[in-house]
Structure 1
Amino acid sequence: MLLAMSFATSCQVSSPAEPLSPVSDIATRFEEVKHSPPKLRAFLRAMPKGADLHSHLGGAIYAESYLRWAEEDDLCVDVSRLVLVTCDTEALALCGEGQPPPPLCHRAEDLARVAHATKDRTFRGRLIDALSTRNYHLYERSGHDQFFTTFGALGPAGQGRGANVLAEAMRRAAGQNILYLELMASPGMSAAAGLVADMEWNDDLAAMRAALADADLDAIVTGSSAYLADMEAKARELMRCDSESPEPACAMVVRFLAQAIRTRPAPQVFAQM
C-alpha cells in the first residue's frame, strides 16, 4: 500500500511540464551556449537579425574577393604602398625619377601583377591586412582611418564588378539570417559634384539650389536609378534567382541609400544631397 502510494505520488510529480514559450526556449538555449564561443557563434549566426540599416556596399566585401577579381581582371598592385592599381602605366600617375612618391603616384618598379605577387603567401597576407581591418592593431592607426582608406586602395578591383559586389553582400547577409538590407552606395555623386566644381559656397541655400538646373539633377537621378536596377538584375542572375534552384539570398529585401561623399568641398556635398 505504501509503495503504491509512493509510486503514485512520484508519477504526479514527474508529469510532463508545460511546453516552453519560444522566448523562454531561446533564452534557455542562450544560457546553454554562451560560454562556448563556437556554439555561441553558430547560435547568433542563425538567429533572425531583422534589418541591417547601415552597410557600405563597397565595404561589405572581403578583401579576398577583391583580390580574386583583381587577378581575373589582370590588375596590378603597388607592392610598396599596398594598393591596387591598373597595370596601364600610361593611365597611371607615375612618380618622376628621384622624387619622393606623392599621394597619388606610383613608381614603375613597385608595380606587379596581382596574380603573380600574391603567390608569395607572406605578401598576400600583408596585402589582405592592408586592404581590410583584419589583424588591425589598436593604437598604430585609428580604426576609422584604416577602414576608410581601404575604399580607395580597393577601388580598381571594384570597377565593373557592381553585380558581383551586390551578390556577395546579399549572400553574406543571408548567411547571417538578415532579412532586410539597406546598402549605402554613391552612383551619380561624382556627376552631381561636377555640376558645381567651380562654385563658391554661399550661406543662402536657396540661392545655391537655384544655381542647380533641375534637368541636370533629374538626368543624374535617372541614370543612377538605371545603374542600380541593372546591377540588381545582374546580381540576381548570378544567384540564379529566377531558376528552380535560387540561392537563399534571393529572398532578401534590398534597398539602397544615396550616400553623399562628405569629404568633398561644401558646394559639392550640397549638390550631392
Structure 2
Amino acid sequence: MKKIILAFSLGVLSASALPVLAQDKNHTAQKNLQATRQYYAKLVNPSSPQLAELTMLMTMMPKGGDIHHHYSGAIYAETYLDWVAQKGYCIYRDSDTNLKQEKFKVETRTAQINEANKSCLKVDAIRKDNAMYRELMSAWSVVDFDNHGHTQLPPDQHFFNTFGYFSSIAKYSTNLGLQILKQQAKNENIQYLETMLRSAPVTENAEFAARLDALTSTSSVADMQQAFAQFADFLAQDSATQKKITDFIKEAEADAAGIDDADFSLRFQTYVSRNSPASKVFSSLYSAFAASQANPLIVGVNIVGAEHALIALRDYQLHMQMFAFLKQRFPTVRLSIHAGELALGIVAPEHLQSHIRDAVQIAGAERIGHGVDIMHEARPDQLLGELKKRNVAVEINLSSNSFILGIPAQAHPVTMYMRHQVPIVISSDDPGVSRNNISHEYMLFASRYQPSYDTLKKTVYNSIRYSFLSQQDKAQQVKLLDQRFLQFEAAAAKLAQAAQVKF
C-alpha cells in the first residue's frame, strides 16, 4: 500500500512540475532574447559600430532560407577550375576570332584540346602561372575589380560576362555542385535553399516562331493571346515537347537526389532568358510552367538576364503578357520575377516607369527579385500600397545591386519598403561571382540600416514565409527555425556577457 501511495505521490509531483519547468524554460528564453537584443543593438550602434563582431553574430544567426539564388553564379571559381581539371578541358589564354576562341573560356571540344594548341592551357599550367591565374579569377568573378587601378569593363557587363566563361563546366555534376552548396548553406545556418538551377527546354517551330517574333510590346493583347494560344496548343500536343518536359523533370529529380535531410531542404525554380527571341521565351516558359505544375520539386518560375539589355527592354511587356497567359493555363504555378533591377542612367527614364508594376499587375508575380527602381516608377506611392496589399515580397540583394547598378548604401530602397510595410527577404543572388555569402548580406543589412533585432529576426522568418514551399513544409521549417533561434539566442547571450569584459 505504501508503494502505491509513493508512486501516486511521485506521479502527482512529476505532473505538477511540468508547468514549472516550462515556465523556467520560457523565462530563460526571454532572458536570452533580451540579452541578444541588447548585444545586437550595441554592435550596430552607428556611433561605434563593431563590424567584426557583428559579422560573427550574423554568421552564427539562423538565416532560414536563401530564396533568390542562382546555382551557376553560386559556385566559386575555384570549384569550377577543379571540375575543368577533372574533365581534362583547357582554358584559352588569348582570343582569336578566326579560330573561334575566347580568352578565359573553357574549351570542351576534344579536337581542340591537344598539346599543339598552345593557347589553350590546362588547369595545372594556369595554377603555376600566378599572373594568369589571378587574371582568370578576376574574369570569372568580381574579385579584385575595385581594389586597385586597372583596365576594366563596366561593372554590369563584367558581372554578366562571367557566366559565359564557365557555363560549359557548370553542368559538370549538378548533384555534386548542390552537395557543395548544401554544405556551405549548413555552415551558414541555412536550412532551405530555393535555387534557379537551369532554364526550361525550348521547342522551335518555324511557323509559330514567325508569328510570335513579329509581336512587340505595343501589339494588342488580343493579338498576343491569339498567337500564344496557337503555339501553346501545339506544344501541348507535340510529343517531342512533352518528352523534353518529362526529361527535364527527371533531370531535376536526379540533381536533387540525396540532398534533403532532417536539417536541410532544397527546391528549384526554373527560368527563361529574357534576352532570347520571343518565340523561344514563350516556348521555354511553357515548358517551365508545365514542369512546375507537374512536380513539387520545381516550386516556381522566373525570368532572368540583364533587364537593361536591348531585347529585355523591347519585349518587357510582351514577356509579362506571356506570364499572364500561361498562369491561366497553369494556375497553381508560383511566380517570382526579376523586375526593377535598373537604375537611373543605365536606361532612359521611360524604362523606369513600370517594370515592377507590370510584373505584379500583369504577370501576377508573388515575389519581386531586386525591385531597386521602385522610387522611379509612375505613382510609386500607390505601387508601394499595392505591394503591401497584395503581400508581395521583395528579394533584396545588396551586394549585386551595389556592384551591377552602382547603388550607394543609403540610396537603396530597402528601408523605404520596410517603412511602407512591404515584406522583404534578404538573399545572396550569385555569391560565387560576388565572392560573398548570405551572412555577409545580413551584415550589410544590419550595419547599413540598423534594423531592430526583432525586425531582423522577422526578416529571417520571411525567407520561409514567402518561400514557395507547401504550407505543410513551411510549418515544419518554421518549427526548425524556432529551435535554431532558441539555440542562437542562448549562445548570443553568452557572447553578450563576454562583451562586457574590458580590454
Amino acid at match of 2:36: I
Match of 1:247 in 2: none
Match of 1:196 in 2: 205
Amino acid at match of 1:129: S
Note closer, same or farther for the CA distance 1:62–1:90 as it changes in structure 2 (3 Å cut): closer
Q: 1:24 aligned to 2:48? A: no
| 1:112-261 pair list within 5 angstroms | 112-137=121-146, 140-186=152-198, 189=200, 192-196=201-205, 199-202=209-212, 203=224, 204=226, 205-214=228-237, 215-233=239-257, 251-261=263-273
Note closer, same or farther for the CA distance 1:234–1:87 as it changes in structure 2 (3 Å cut): farther
TM-score normalised over the length of structure 2: 0.41
Query: Partners in 2 of 1:207 and 1:24 — Cα distance?
Result: 61
C-alpha displacement of 1:197: 6.0
C-alpha displacement of 1:77: 0.8
C-alpha displacement of 1:91: 8.4
Q: 1:86 aligned to 2:108? A: yes
Q: Could you say what secondary structure the match of 1:128 adopts?
A: helix
Query: Partners in 1 of 2:61 and 2:206 — Cα distance?
Result: 47
Gaps of 5+ in 1: 1-17, 93-106, 242-249
Match of 1:110 in 2: 119
Note closer, same or farther for the CA distance 1:259–1:126 as it changes in structure 2 (3 Å cut): same
Q: After superposition, what is the alpha-carbon deviation per residue over 1:28-76, rounded to whole angstroms, capped at 9, x for unaligned? A: 2213444333321111011111221110111111001101111122111
Note closer, same or farther for the CA distance 1:38–1:265 as it changes in structure 2 (3 Å cut): same
Amino acid at match of 1:170: K
Query: Partners in 1 of 2:282 and 2:188 — Cα distance?
Result: 36
Match of 2:84 in 1: 70
Query: Partners in 1 of 2:142 and 2:241 — Cα distance?
Result: 36
CA contact (8 A) 1:76 1:112 kept: yes
Amino acid at match of 1:227: E
Query: Partners in 1 of 2:272 and 2:108 — Cα distance?
Result: 26
Q: After superposition, what is the alpha-carbon deviation per residue over 1:199-219, rounded to whole angstroms, capped at 9, x for unaligned? A: 214332212212324333332
C-alpha displacement of 1:185: 2.0
Q: After superposition, what is the alpha-carbon deviation per residue over 1:95-130, rounded to whole angstroms, capped at 9, x for unaligned? A: xxxxxxxxxxxx944211122122112221111111
Q: Could you say what secondary structure the match of 1:89 adopts?
A: helix
CA contact (8 A) 1:75 1:84 kept: yes
Amino acid at match of 1:24: Q
CA contact (8 A) 2:93 2:104 kept: yes
Amino acid at match of 2:83: W
Query: Partners in 1 of 2:274 and 2:65 — Cα distance?
Result: 25
Percent of aligned positions that are identical: 22
CA contact (8 A) 1:184 1:259 kept: yes
Match of 1:48 in 2: 62
Amino acid at match of 1:63: A
Note closer, same or farther for the CA distance 1:196–1:133 as it changes in structure 2 (3 Å cut): farther
Query: Partners in 1 of 2:56 and 2:183 — Cα distance?
Result: 17
Q: Could you say what secondary structure the match of 2:138 adopts?
A: helix
Amino acid at match of 1:68: D
Note closer, same or farther for the CA distance 1:196–1:28 as it changes in structure 2 (3 Å cut): farther
Query: Partners in 2 of 1:43 and 1:171 — Cα distance?
Result: 19
CA contact (8 A) 1:76 1:86 kept: yes
TM-score normalised over the length of structure 1: 0.73
**RMSD across aligned C-alpha pairs, in angstroms?**
2.8
Query: Partners in 2 of 1:267 and 1:166 — Cα distance?
Result: 31
CA contact (8 A) 1:78 1:112 kept: yes
Which structure would you say has the larger Rg?
Answer: 1
**Pick aligned residue for 1:263 from 253, 258, 275:** 275
Amino acid at match of 2:86: E
Gaps of 5+ in 2: 1-26, 95-102, 213-223, 286-503
